[in-house]
């Protein structure tokens, strides 16, 4: 079962979609590495990571049901 | 003396009354940035009877602001946003005090400016100001109503909200500990923004200010709200606890000495503006490069230049071999700074490399 990842702001410009699916990842670190390999431009971006709508700071184990979101900062006003 | 006719429709609300209106009348709110977000925040706070409103903005009104910065009209073009906004708001509500600060907020003047207010609203348009305002609010213990937008999406929350236990709520650095790198995130000028989006996010920010002042409802602290104007999808992300991953300058001295202007720090390359730019054009060996995409408006005919879009620059760097001085420009000065940084890395000390500060927008304001 692939995991669904929501992307916000300029990250979705890089992937071409605001939702992507990622297979075979056990935690947030492996998920982010997987996404960076598929979309190398994401490497240059800073973003916050949320699992099940909670911002996390440390590597977090994922289940098939986990909802992951990547949120970059916006500067516009 | 409260004008009960003006405020009647909100004074009859449960939880408001004359007491709530009096709290508003006593409140002092500083709005940083009188742009897309600042305009609706200011309008609603002035209309609601906020006793003292400060407006910080060093920018001038331009035609390309008018699709989203709804306080201004054509007659304001070229005038200070802070003073233009103040005169519009005085006409809307002469019973409140409105103070324009038509200068750029820096770490040298921020603490003085902010300390006279109870609540700070950040509607600025750059990361340097956002991190500096956050740190100032942490040092001074002021709640910070935060909103930010990009293209069709917005973020909103209240940072540094004092809790009942005396502890401050999470701040901007708990969410984004480290500022993004040079040009990582495009601004409204380079990425575009739907005009109504800052209206929606800004009205929501004004709502948070009112809830903090009056003390009713639930303030959006500890959670980041996001909104997508194309899909109407909204999310709430729980922000958790304070992070250990960052350092806010711990005292006034450290704050005053911190470097918040990293956006302008271009090692080896510099920025030039207006007069110096035109002077430099007279020098021999100067090459001027437009790094905007082909066909981007306005068309520039005032000075000689070549067009090499930013994403082709690295491959075409050999075209600069014979020039002694390179000056890059774009619409706002953001992409050209990126270009100057990129090319400077290629040539190191071999050339003088500049970016036109403020881009074509900046030149327009001076001519």
User: Strand B119-122 vs strand B97-101: parallel, antiparallel, or unpaired?
Assistant: unpaired
Q: Does B111 touch chain A (CB under 8 A)?
A: no
Strand ranges (E), A1-47: 3-7, 19-22
> Closest Cα partner for B224 from A77, A50, A7?
A50
In angstroms, rounded to a whole number, what is the distance separating the alpha carbons of residues B276 and B273? 6
Please state the domain count of chain A: 1
- Supply the range of the domain harboring residue A15: 3-71
Ordered per-residue pLDDT tens for chain B, 367 residues: 788 899 999 999 999 999 999 999 999 999 999 999 999 999 999 999 999 999 999 999 999 999 999 999 999 999 999 999 999 999 999 999 999 999 989 999 999 999 999 999 999 999 989 999 999 999 999 999 999 999 999 999 999 999 888 788 999 999 998 788 655 666 666 678 999 999 999 999 999 999 999 999 999 999 999 999 999 999 999 998 887 777 788 788 889 888 786 543 444 467 777 777 887 888 888 999 999 999 888 889 889 999 999 989 888 988 888 888 899 999 988 889 888 888 877 776 667 888 898 889 888 765 4
Q: Inter-chain contact A55–B175, Cβ cutoff 8 Å?
A: yes
Q: List CB contacts (< 8 A) between B235 and chain A.
A: 6, 53, 69
Neighbour count for residue B184 (Cβ, 10 Å):
16
Instruction: State the nearest Cα–Cα gap between B199 and chain A, in angstroms.
Output: 10
Q: List CB contacts (< 8 A) between B240 and chain A.
A: 54-57
Tokens for B301, please give them.
């005919």
What CATH number corresponds to the domain at position A35? 3.10.20.30
pLDDT, tens digit, 9 for 90 and up, residues A6-39: 999 999 999 999 999 999 999 999 999 999 999 9
Q: At B181, phi and psi to the nearest 5?
A: -70, 170
Domain-located, residue A8: yes
Superfamily of segment(s) B8-262: NAD(P)-binding Rossmann-like Domain (3.40.50.720)
Q: Which of A18, A44, A55 sits opposite B238 (nearest CB)?
A: A55
CATH of region B270-366: 3.40.250.10
**Domain ranges in chain B?**
8-262, 270-366
Domain-located, residue A76: no
Q: Are B153 and B229 in contact (CB under 8 A)?
A: yes
Domain-located, residue A77: no
Strand partners, A49: A56, A70
Q: Which of B124, B153, B178 sits opposite A9 (nearest CB)?
A: B153
């Amino acid at each position: 079962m692939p995991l669904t990842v929501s992307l916000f702001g300029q990250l979705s410009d890089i992937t071409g979609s605001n939702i992507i699916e990622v297979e075979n990842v056990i935690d947030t670190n492996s998920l982010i590495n997987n996404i960076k390999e598929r979309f190398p431009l994401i490497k240059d971006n800073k973003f916050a990571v949320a699992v099940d709508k909670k911002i996390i700071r440390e590597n977090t184990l994922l289940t098939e049901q986990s909802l992951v979101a990547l949120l970059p900062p916006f500067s516009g006003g | 003396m409260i004008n009960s006719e003006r405020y009647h429709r909100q004074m009859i609300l449960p939880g408001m009354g004359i007491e709530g209106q009096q709290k508003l009348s006593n409140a002092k709110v500083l709005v940083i940035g009188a742009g897309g977000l600042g305009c609706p925040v200011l309008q609603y706070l002035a209309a609601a009877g906020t006793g003292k409103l400060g407006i910080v903005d060093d920018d001038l009104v331009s035609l390309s602001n008018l699709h989203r910065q709804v306080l201004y009209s054509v007659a304001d073009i070229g005038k200070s946003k802070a003073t233009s906004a103040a005169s519009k708001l005085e006409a809307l509500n002469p019973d409140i005090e409105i103070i324009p600060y038509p200068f750029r907020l820096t770490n040298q003047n921020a603490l003085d400016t902010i300390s006279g207010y109870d609540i700070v609203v950040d509607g600025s348009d750059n990361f340097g100001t956002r991190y500096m305002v956050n740190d100032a609010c942490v040092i001074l213990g002021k709640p910070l109503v935060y909103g930010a937008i990009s293209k069709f999406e917005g973020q909103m929350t209240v940072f540094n909200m004092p809790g009942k236990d005396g502890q401050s709520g999470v701040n901007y650095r708990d969410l984004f500990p480290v500022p993004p790198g040079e040009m990582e995130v495009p601004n409204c000028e380079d990425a575009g923004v739907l005009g109504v989006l800052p209206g929606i996010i800004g009205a929501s920010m004004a709502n948070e200010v009112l809830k903090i002042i009056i003390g009713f409802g639930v303030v959006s602290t500890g959670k980041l709200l996001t909104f997508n104007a194309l899909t109407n999808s909204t999310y709430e992300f729980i922000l958790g606890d304070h992070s250990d991953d960052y350092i806010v300058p711990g005292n006034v001295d450290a704050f005053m000495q911190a470097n918040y202007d990293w956006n302008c720090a271009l090692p080896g390359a510099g920025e030039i503006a207006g007069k110096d730019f035109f002077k430099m054009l007279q020098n021999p060996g100067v090459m001027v490069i437009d790094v905007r995409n082909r066909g981007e408006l306005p068309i520039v005919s005032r000075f000689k230049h070549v067009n090499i879009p930013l994403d082709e620059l690295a491959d075409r760097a050999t075209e600069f071999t014979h020039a002694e001085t390179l000056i890059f420009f774009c619409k706002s000065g953001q992409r050209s700074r990126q270009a100057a940084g990129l090319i400077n890395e290629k040539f190191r000390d071999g050339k003088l490399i500049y970016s036109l500060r403020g881009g074509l927008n900046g030149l327009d304001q001076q001519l």
